[in-house]
């Protein structure tokens, strides 16, 4: 155990002990934390432990829904190349767990990521004892890294990125983070900027590759969008009703009233238009329903299996997990949220473009820098600065289907030009898999 590892764990243990009375009741009181608490504390079921021991493991860590989808894309390509291995996928969030449980194969093992406490982390890492571990994007937990290194298990960062915010924070503790990064076997970074940043904070240059973004490979390009008939029937929505989807709205709720304001402006000239709101966090369904009611509309919620049979008076809330792609097929235009206000960060704008939809998003898309700006620069999406700009662009695309279609074609062509990244990631991962 290195000097930095010892100091990190001493300080962490002291802080955890002092703050335990504060955070433990909070964790136990909230379902999304309580459900995973036992597993994250190092207590796995007998069935899970037996399954882990069946074959040599490749451990893939994916934080939440977005990373899980990337992990699935990677695993699908990696599986036939590693027939003697099974995959252990760890997640941090309940929504990530829910999506992963639906998409992984039966032979795969799904667990919650262990808590960042050395005895617990090392116990689980030693139990899984993977031949190789892969972190999706930039979820760097020092004790995970240190545990793998102690057991001589190679660790690869796949689809790596480093936001300005994370980069600035890591620079404040550069000697420590450098010690952590030195334990990695390889870094597959999305862009040149990401590569430069990871090197600047301590990654060894010869271990860093620039391979692009797996999100492009996970996008299923559809030439002509067809509404999902099963969804239409389930929610009783008329096939002819044009839909505006405001997706992945951020958790502060600031984008919620904006979506309704924009929708009301759209309805002035298109009274048959309908609105579907999709919160980034499904548990916000109650709050959005209250807002919808206060604005004179009737909230209809997917989590309650409610119908959307009167869009003149109703606004639909998609407060479930794993259904967004199917609902996207109902849309005429899509706004991708967590992008209109600082700090933003953005959400996946590639998926709706690939599905054949004109897409609008705000300028605060730091988590998708290198995608959001370039996609728009190629004419494949629209970046807006505020509510008025969003309204104008929405109405323009609504009124000009030829221009909307042209934008979609340009966007899909750009996505095609960026595909093939998964194989580049796999090539570097296979170098460290034991035969």
CATH of the domain at 317: 3.40.50.2000
Residue 63 near residue 91, CB atoms below 8 Å: yes
Q: Does 376 lie in the same domain as 295? A: yes
25 vs 81 pLDDT, higher one: 81
Q: Distance (Å, rounded) from C-alpha 121 to C-alpha 149?
A: 12
Residue 203 near residue 273, CB atoms below 8 Å: no
How many CB atoms within 10 Å of residue 96? 25
Q: Does 286 lie in the same domain as 209? A: no
Q: Does 384 lie in the same domain as 239? A: yes
Range of the domain at 312: 229-417
Q: Does 350 lie in the same domain as 238? A: yes
271 pLDDT higher than 50: yes
Question: For position 432, what pLDDT does the model report?
Answer: 86
Domain assignment of residue 223, yes or no:
no
Question: For position 32, what pLDDT does the model report?
Answer: 65
Q: Does 296 lie in the same domain as 322? A: yes
Question: For position 256, what pLDDT does the model report?
Answer: 98
Q: Distance (Å, rounded) from C-alpha 69 to C-alpha 230?
A: 23
Total domains present in the chain: 2
User: How does pLDDT run across 11-57, given as a tens digit for each residue?
Assistant: 888 887 787 777 777 667 776 677 788 888 889 999 999 999 999 99
Residue 214 near residue 421, CB atoms below 8 Å: yes
Residue 288 Cα to chain centre, angstroms? 22
Domain assignment of residue 99, yes or no:
yes
Q: Does 118 lie in the same domain as 52? A: yes
Question: For position 435, what pLDDT does the model report?
Answer: 45
- How high does pLDDT run on average in the chain? 93
Q: Does 41 lie in the same domain as 162? A: yes
Q: Is 265 helix (H, G, I), strand (E, B) or coil?
A: helix
Domain assignment of residue 222, yes or no:
no
Mean pLDDT within 281-295:
96
Q: Does 426 lie in the same domain as 336? A: no
Q: Does 367 lie in the same domain as 346? A: yes
Q: Does 263 lie in the same domain as 385? A: yes
Q: For 113, how many CA atoms within 13 A lie in the half-sphere containing its CB? A: 24
CATH code: domain of residue 47: 3.40.50.11720
Q: Distance (Å, rounded) from C-alpha 112 to C-alpha 51?
A: 15
């Amino acid at each position: 155990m290195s000097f930095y590892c010892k100091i990190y764990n001493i300080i962490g243990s002291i802080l955890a002990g002092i703050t335990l009375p504060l955070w433990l009741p909070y964790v136990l009181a909230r379902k999304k934390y309580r459900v995973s608490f036992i597993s994250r504390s190092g207590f796995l079921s007998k069935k899970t432990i037996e399954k882990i021991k069946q074959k040599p493991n490749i451990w893939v860590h994916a934080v939440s829904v977005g990373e899980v989808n990337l992990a699935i894309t990677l695993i699908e390509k990696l599986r036939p190349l590693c027939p003697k291995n099974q995959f252990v996928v760890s997640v941090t969030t309940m929504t990530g767990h829910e999506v992963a449980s639906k998409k992984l194969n039966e032979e795969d093992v799904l667990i919650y990521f262990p808590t960042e406490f050395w005895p617990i982390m090392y116990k689980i890492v030693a139990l899984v004892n993977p031949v190789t571990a892969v972190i999706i994007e930039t979820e760097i937990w020092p004790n995970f890294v240190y545990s793998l290194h102690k057991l001589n298990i190679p660790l690869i960062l796949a689809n790596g990125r480093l936001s300005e915010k994370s980069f600035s924070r890591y620079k404040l503790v550069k000697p420590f983070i450098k010690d952590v990064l030195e334990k990695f076997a390889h870094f597959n970074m999305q862009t040149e900027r990401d590569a430069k940043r990871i090197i600047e904070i301590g990654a060894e240059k010869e271990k860093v590759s620039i391979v692009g973004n797996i999100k492009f490979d996970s996008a299923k390009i559809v030439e002509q969008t067809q509404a999902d008939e099963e969804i239409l029937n389930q929610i009783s929505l008329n096939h002819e009703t044009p839909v505006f989807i405001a997706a992945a709205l951020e958790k502060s709720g600031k984008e919620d009233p904006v979506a309704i304001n924009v929708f009301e402006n759209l309805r002035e000239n298109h009274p048959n238009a309908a609105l579907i709101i999709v919160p980034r966090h499904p548990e916000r369904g109650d709050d959005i329903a209250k807002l919808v009611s206060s604005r004179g509309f009737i909230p209809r919620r997917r989590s309650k299996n409610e119908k959307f049979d009167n869009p003149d008076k109703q606004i639909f809330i998609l407060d479930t997990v794993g259904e967004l792609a199917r609902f996207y097929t109902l849309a005429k235009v899509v706004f991708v949220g967590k992008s209109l206000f600082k700090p933003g960060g953005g959400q996946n704008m590639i998926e709706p473009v690939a599905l054949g939809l004109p897409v609008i998003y705000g300028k605060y898309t730091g988590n998708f820098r290198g995608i959001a700006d370039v996609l728009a620069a190629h004419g494949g999406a629209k970046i807006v600065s505020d509510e008025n700009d969003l309204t104008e662009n929405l109405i323009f695309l609504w009124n000009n289907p030829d221009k909307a279609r042209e934008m979609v074609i340009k966007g899909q062509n750009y996505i095609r030009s960026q595909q093939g990244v998964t194989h580049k990631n796999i090539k570097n991962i296979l170098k460290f898999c034991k035969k």
